[in-house]
């Protein structure tokens, strides 16, 4: 994004600025559409999300047990077989997609908000505020991620007052707590660069307050890097949730998620290998699709990036 399009300037009228902004948006869109993998990945991601939304249309319940049908191989009645309790694997995978995608999106939103606030304050004000916030950020970056995720998850689950024993809220909180540092450092770097620009100096000279400069002049110019970072965080959140649930510290059964479906499947890896195929495939496809979309956005926002697809 250009600061010309997003920041007030006396050289252009309001209509001219809107025209420039539309032109830049159209150019960015054309560059993104030339990234064929990214465009294809949007279709894949929409298909995954739609299948999760339409999960209630399945004739089977994701939690109702049917011991007489346990560990059935894929058939016309159960396209991806049944699990050890006779539940339809396809149905549970679709419902699991609701949980995994929700965790990925909400954890990303929360961590982005935290990171943007920390990074904006550190980069804009500098001095002791920057030193303090960045030392806190560095301290979080040194933590062993998996160990801390497990520790926080266990602590929150053992607090009766919170009543979150079987809630995905725990997973969202612990993931957000340990991934806000990357957007914080990224936003700080952008603010350090942008606050030296002429349009910020002009805003200061005209008496514009700090809050307005941050929100209206500098932050809109960081949307491109924040958007790309968000796609990476979504993929990371989904994989992290799957890992936590696989280890038994994430979403708890009988609520299905892609991670705990894989955890159940490992016990029957040789006897019923079909149990792990669909959940594992959904994690892989979703993560790859989000990453390809991030690549497309990066190329679209950066006019100096050479198109490779």
- All domains of the chain in start order, with CATH: 3-301 (1.10.3720.10)
SS3 of the chain: helix, strand, coil, percent, to 5: 70, 0, 25
In the prediction, which pLDDT does 309 show? 45
**In which element (H, E) is residue 308 found?**
none
pLDDT at 162: 53
pLDDT one-digit tens code per residue, 99-139 = 889 999 999 999 999 999 999 999 999 899 999 999 999 99
pLDDT value of residue 14: 56
Extract the tokens encoding 296.
Answer: 């497309």
* pLDDT of res. 305: 52
| pLDDT value of position 220 | 87
pTM reported for the whole predicted model: 0.82
Q: What is the largest CA-CA distance in the chain?
A: 77
Residues lower than pLDDT 50 in the chain: 1-10, 307-309
List Cβ<8 Å contacts ≥24 apart for 292-296: 292/37, 292/38, 292/40, 292/41, 293/38, 293/41, 293/42, 293/45, 293/231, 294/228, 294/231, 294/232, 294/235, 295/35, 295/37, 295/38, 296/32, 296/35, 296/37, 296/38, 296/39, 296/41
pLDDT at 64 (0 to 100): 85
């Amino acid at each position: 994004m250009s600061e010309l399009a997003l920041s007030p300037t006396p050289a252009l009228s309001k209509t001219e600025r809107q025209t420039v902004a539309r032109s830049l948006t159209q150019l960015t869109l054309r560059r993104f559409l030339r990234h064929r993998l990214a465009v294809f990945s949007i279709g894949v991601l929409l298909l995954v999300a739609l299948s999760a939304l339409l999960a209630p249309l399945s004739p089977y319940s994701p939690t109702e047990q049917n011991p007489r049908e346990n560990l059935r191989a894929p058939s016309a009645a159960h396209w991806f077989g049944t699990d050890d309790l006779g539940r339809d694997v396809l149905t549970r995978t679709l419902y699991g997609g609701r949980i995994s995608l929700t965790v990925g999106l909400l954890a990303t939103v929360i961590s982005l908000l935290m990171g943007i606030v920390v990074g904006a304050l550190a980069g804009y004000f500098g001095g002791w505020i920057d030193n303090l916030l960045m030392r806190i950020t560095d301290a979080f970056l040194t933590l062993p991620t998996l160990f801390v995720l497990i520790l926080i998850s266990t602590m929150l689950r053992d607090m009766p007052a919170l009543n979150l024993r079987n809630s995905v809220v725990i997973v969202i909180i612990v993931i957000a707590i340990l991934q806000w540092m990357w957007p914080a450092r990224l936003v700080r770097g952008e603010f350090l660069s942008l606050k030296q620009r002429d349009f910020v100096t002009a805003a200061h000279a005209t008496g514009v307050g700090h809050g307005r400069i941050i929100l209206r002049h500098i932050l809109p110019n960081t949307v491109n890097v924040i958007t790309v970072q968000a796609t990476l965080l979504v993929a990371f959140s989904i994989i992290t949730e799957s890992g936590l649930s696989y280890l038994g510290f994430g979403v708890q059964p009988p609520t299905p998620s892609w991670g705990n479906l894989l955890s159940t499947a490992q016990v029957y890896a040789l006897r019923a290998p079909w149990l792990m195929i669909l959940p594992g495939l959904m994690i892989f496809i979703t993560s790859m699709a989000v990453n390809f979309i991030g690549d497309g956005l990066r190329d679209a926002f950066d006019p100096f990036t050479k198109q490779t697809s």
